């Protein structure tokens, strides 16, 4: 069974600085998809970024980028120029290419951006 691990329960960063959130996963599959979702205090789940495992190029979305290391099964999220609105819980999630599309989530990392 696939698992997703986020080893940093809480992190903080100064506004305008860069922060990296870690995620590792375990799977025997070769094709899959990885996601980062943001959950602000409103508790809405908002997609931040998506990575297809077959793509070697790391995904980027404005200030958000990932470092996808397939061999190491690592999928970290880098937030550049952190803003107060980035304060949220961040979840890493895995989707197999072979099953029904369900997402398997990590435990989450609470990020606090300080002014």
Partner 1 sequence: EPEVTQTPSHQVTQMGQEVILRCVPISNHLYFYWYRQILGQKVEFLVSFYNNEISEKSEIFDDQFSVERPDGSNFTLKIRSTKLEDSAMYFCASQTGRQETQYFGPGTRLLVL
| Contact footprint for partner 1 (CB under 8 A) | 33, 35, 37, 42-47, 50, 91, 93, 95, 97, 99-108
H-helix or E-strand spanning residue 93 = strand 88-96
DSSP SS3 for 86: helix
In whole angstroms, how close is the CB of 26 to partner 1 at the nearest point?
Answer: 15
In whole angstroms, how close is the CB of 14 to partner 1 at the nearest point?
Answer: 26
Handedness of CA 67, 68, 73, 76 (dihedral sign): positive
By beta-carbon proximity to partner 1, the closer residue of 106 and 113 is 106
Q: Where are the beta strands (DSSP E) in the chain?
A: 3-5, 10-14, 19-21, 24-26, 32-39, 46-52, 60-61, 64-69, 74-79, 88-96, 104-105, 109-114
By beta-carbon proximity to partner 1, the closer residue of 98 and 115 is 98
In whole angstroms, how close is the CB of 53 to partner 1 at the nearest point?
Answer: 11
In whole angstroms, how close is the CB of 57 to partner 1 at the nearest point?
Answer: 18
By beta-carbon proximity to partner 1, the closer residue of 5 and 12 is 5
| 88-96 vs 24-26, strand pairing mode | unpaired
By beta-carbon proximity to partner 1, the closer residue of 82 and 106 is 106
């Amino acid at each position: 069974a696939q698992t997703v691990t986020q080893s940093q329960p809480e992190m903080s960063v100064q506004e305008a600085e860069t922060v990296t959130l870690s995620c590792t996963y375990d799977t025997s599959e070769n094709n899959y998809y990885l996601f980062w979702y943001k959950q602000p205090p409103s508790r809405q789940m908002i997609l931040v970024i998506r990575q297809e495992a077959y793509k070697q190029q790391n995904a980027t979305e404005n200030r958000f980028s990932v470092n996808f290391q397939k061999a190491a099964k690592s999928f970290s999220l880098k937030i550049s120029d952190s803003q107060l609105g980035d304060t949220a819980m961040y979840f890493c999630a895995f989707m197999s290419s072979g099953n029904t599309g369900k997402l398997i989530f990590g435990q989450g990392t609470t990020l606090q951006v300080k002014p």
